[in-house]
Structure 1
Amino acid sequence: MAYRLLALDIDGTLLKSNHRLTKETKEAIDYVKDKGVYITLATGRSFFSARKVAKSLKLSSPFLITHDGTFLAEDVSSPVFERRLNAEKVYQVVDILENYHCHFRLFHEKYVIANKTKQKSQLISRVNLQMTDPLFYPTHYVESVSNRLIDQPLSVLNIRVQFWNKREQTDALEELQEALTGVRLFSSIDGEIHITHESTSKAIALQSLADRLGIKAEECVAIGADERDQDMIAFAGLGVAMGHAPASVKKIADWVTRSNDQSGVAYMIKEGFRKQLRIEVEQV
């Protein structure tokens, strides 16, 4: 089987735990590019943040799967696939979250609306640095997000919430599940809740891209490390889990590679594409 499309998660997959992109990984990406394989990034990050990583890998005009699969585009102003939470749903989420001690961010494709919090957390700073570019993708901090939404209704691509108390995270998740319909909720062990439209995932966006390129599912390779990558890994002809991924992710993968700190992407590419001859993927 010749693989024609490679989809890569960013955090915990392409990047090491220190958020660095290694020389070995860059060389592996060049190696598979030389074989004519189309490469996309499939990430929870914003389009602008993913595009910076794509440029560092010298990916030429790729379609990027961003915002946890809700936004597929080559240019931020011209998405070919998007699934948004409507303004009413966004207000409903915010109205619930403002009753909890948490930090939440509403991700539009061009900016972020976030609540102000007294919590001095290095985690907030680290995540905001990963997800935003202050020059092109600003974050607007607001005292009362619900009041702003009354005056300026907003539909968004995804919402991310950070909790510092496990009990509050559990209570908020239960309330969101009871009150909301038409959404996907992911709760992580590190205190986050991710909220997106119910009819979206990285797998759905990847299928949309593959169809656009005339590529079959069995000709796709997808590499990820998170439970939000499970659908994408299951969809691909060759689904790959990182060595440090949760057991549930490894269980559905066809291949488990090394961890991100052991250059697992580079290792998988060199082994998985070693015997493959150069192919041509029609660019669109």
Structure 2
Amino acid sequence: MNDRYGVDPCAASTFVELASLLRLFGPEHGRFIVEFPLDWPEEVRNAHIDDLDDLSRARLTEILLRFKNSLLPASTRYSEALSWVQNAQQLRDVQGLIGPVGSRPPIQTVFDVLTDPKALPDCSGAHIPRTPNAYAEAARPLFQISKKVVLIDRYLRLRDLSRIEHRYVRTLKALIKAAQAEKVDVFKLMVNAEHARIHIDDGAQFKADLEMIQCEVGASDIKIEYGFLESHSLDSHPRYLLGNECGLSFDWGFEVKDATSTCHVEWVGRAALKPLLERFMQATSLARSRAPRRW
């Protein structure tokens, strides 16, 4: 799950190859390209723009703009003094490398990737341990491409009577800490008011507990919000974490269990994602800000 690949900006020899390759990546596939070099989309555009007519140039620009949510930051610094292949030898935390015709293993060619059904393993979901760190790592790509995130769980609560509910608080701390590290601006909880015991004191204790959590993880740069779920089919059972044009489904929610217990986590496909974004994100959606592209 959340497989990252290094791709040479010049790997695709034609526009059709490029478009076919990029369709294999994106949050809905759980498969991402690391932005290596940092101006990867511009490098890709420069590799193809001269060979395209006006219509194809417009399509290329649109594809690259849409593709921004499939790019993750690289953990390795790119050296302009070296070729992409030489740089890629130092690239860490990736599942594979994709280069142009003539590339040698471990670098795959675009032809290999497009014609071999086993070239890119399925990674849209996984059964992960029900631990705070596992939840946070599963969500990290979502945090990296989103300015605002919304956690949806009608069963989440911060207290059981007068006691802190550590089964949920530990996970929430890990998620907020990871979101802070990835520079998320807004972290919103959508909860059931009665189950979260907000109806008892108009949310006074819930707000205090959120402030405590935020302080303990040092997430002073994030705005923490919450809202209430309704009697709606999307509110009754599913647990989600939504971001900028992407979302994760957590089959067992965010409760912490022993290390032998697992939770089925899956990236939500585009068709199922659309009503979720319309309901929970559209009105206040914030796009991940990036430096202006020259294209």
- Normalised by the size of structure 1, how large is the TM-score? 0.29
Give the number of the structure whose alpha-carbon radius of gyration is greater. 2
- Normalised by the size of structure 2, how large is the TM-score? 0.28
